[in-house]
Structure 1
Amino acid sequence: MKYPLSPDVKPEFCTSGTFMRLPTENPNAKLAIIGLPFDTAASYRVGARFAPQSIRQSSMTLFPYNPIQKVYPFDETNAIDVGDVSVIPNNIHRSYELMEKAISDLMKKGIVTIGLGGDHSVTLASLRAAAKIYGPLALIHFDSHTDTWDTYYDEKYWHGSPFIRAYEEGLLKPSKVFQIGIRGTLNHPGDVEESRSKLGFHVITTQDLMEKGFTSILQKMREKIGQTPCFLSFDIDFVDPSCAPGTGTLEVGGFSSRETLQMVRSLTEFRFVGFDLVEVLPPYDTTQITSLLAATLVYEFASLAALEAKNKHKPQVNKSVLSPYKKQ
């Protein structure tokens, strides 16, 4: 029998606790869901520690076949859900070590990971793990903020700094980093421009996206990134609060869930080695629409990975790369 079990085989409310009732082990796994429930690097609202289980619960209403991509995302990848990393609240560096090891252990086996955050600080652990195995990475980053702010309350490690830390540690190829959907008010006039001028990232604001259209941005990403191992990080506040109210730093003027899904579904032909979905806060998601959108996006990430597996374009581990980043 195919897995995961669809709701017409077993009721949605009869859950095993995993994403779409995925098994926790499979020797042929090419894809793994992993919970990263760390949220004490957030600057305002907290609660993203509860997101992995909320996203898993919302996934129960999804069916196993993706008619847009024409794949069974979890069958094609023999996907598993390995549960949550036992992070340590308020100890970001120890939590980074635990998350990095768990993700690295999966990636060493050639498994593509999908991390369920957690606040956006958790992405640094995933990038460390991936870069250690694949070398410096390309990055596609959906967000309303660049998350390249150096310090906050004199702290260098928080959910607004993962990508400047990743840049400093040599985890990324700056010319192959695309930050998409940036909008909202700023502390200083140069906050966005510094990502372009100092770090060398491609920053596409919401206004840019509205004027140019996603098709032109996608073409540029394909030209610049090519087949470089790529990580996709998705902050749910990329989406307008009307469609995703359960998040920590709300920014109005974003994209609808339909528009967002269209963009994500178009990200074929990239060599993804990992994904994450962050900043879902279930305590502020009373109708569960944010968690449902998050679960659907994870499903779409899995579909992109399944297309890779189906076409036999497997990410190749760069064994010559030992540690491309400097210890801070």
Structure 2
Amino acid sequence: MRKKWRWLLLALTGIFFLMFGPPLVSQARNVIEATGNDVNSAVIKDSKGKIMAHDAQLPEDQEYTVNYNWRIPDNLKIKAGDTMAFQVPENVRIPHDEAFPMKGTTVGTIGTFFIAAGAHTGLVTFNQAYQTRPRNRKGFVQLDAFGTVPSHPGNLAPILLEKSAEWADEANPRRINWTIRVLPNNNQLVDPTFVDTLSPNQTYVNGSAVLRDETGNIIPVNTSVNGKQLTFNATGSFTSELALTYQTKTNEPTGDATFENNVTYTDKNGNKGSATATISRPVTEPDVPENPGISEPTDPDEDEEPGVTEPEKPGTTEPEKPGVTEPEKPGTTEPEKPGVTEP
């Protein structure tokens, strides 16, 4: 009898704690086992339903949707308060906060979805719906979005492309420094690409390419070489002037030659341009030494030619005329006066 009362007392105590005791707290977790909710699974569509790539340059004034087909593995425990994250691609922008009841395909509301304006991660917080439904847990999510590439008026001037060349060492013209400048004219330069074609008499110097913005900051650039065609690629969006510099070496160290480069520019915002530059190396005339023993004659007006002594012309020297010499006039010599000699 005493045992029955003991068991009854324990049962009543347990019921009391269940009814009036503090609630059991379990820590919520993120359901990382779910599929179809990561960034690679997101499907971007334009207003006509066309699927857009994740690296596409989407204008900021165009509307898109981001779509997910998600699924949670069977028999995975899902408790109220657990979460599931949805990743948004970087080339789209969520324009405003978005919150809505989250639904599955085989059951009603399973939680709430929220994503903040401009964020790239949305979050579902589950309710108790999946605690008793261990199978066939899946559904769809669609988010409204816009592109990220700034639009600009159609009356902007096109970009300008300039190209120049100079010898790295004027005294030893064997390497050429090439410079390409892109003037955007307020256009957005998105992922710029330069394709340069070298004339056959020169070769690209590996590792010499450097891309800078107008403040001198270096922008990473990838270079590929296919024969005489060089391709330089950069990633990013730029509105300031860009300057690409690189070096080539001449295939012949000396001699008269002209070196030419043709470049075309494109980017993912539709900007285009082309430019050409040339540089020439003239033939340097060698110094010719004088032949020994050969003296160049001087100007006859300045010096007499060697061995050519001009003879006197006959009759050029006037002979003395007889009697021309004037005789002394008598009396011109004053005689000594007698007695004038001083003692």
TM-score by length of 1: 0.18
Q: Which has the higher helix share?
A: 1
Query: Which structure: larger Rg?
Result: 2
Q: Which has the higher strand share?
A: 2
TM-score by length of 2: 0.17
Does 1 or 2 have the higher relative contact order (CA < 8 Å, sep 6+)? 1
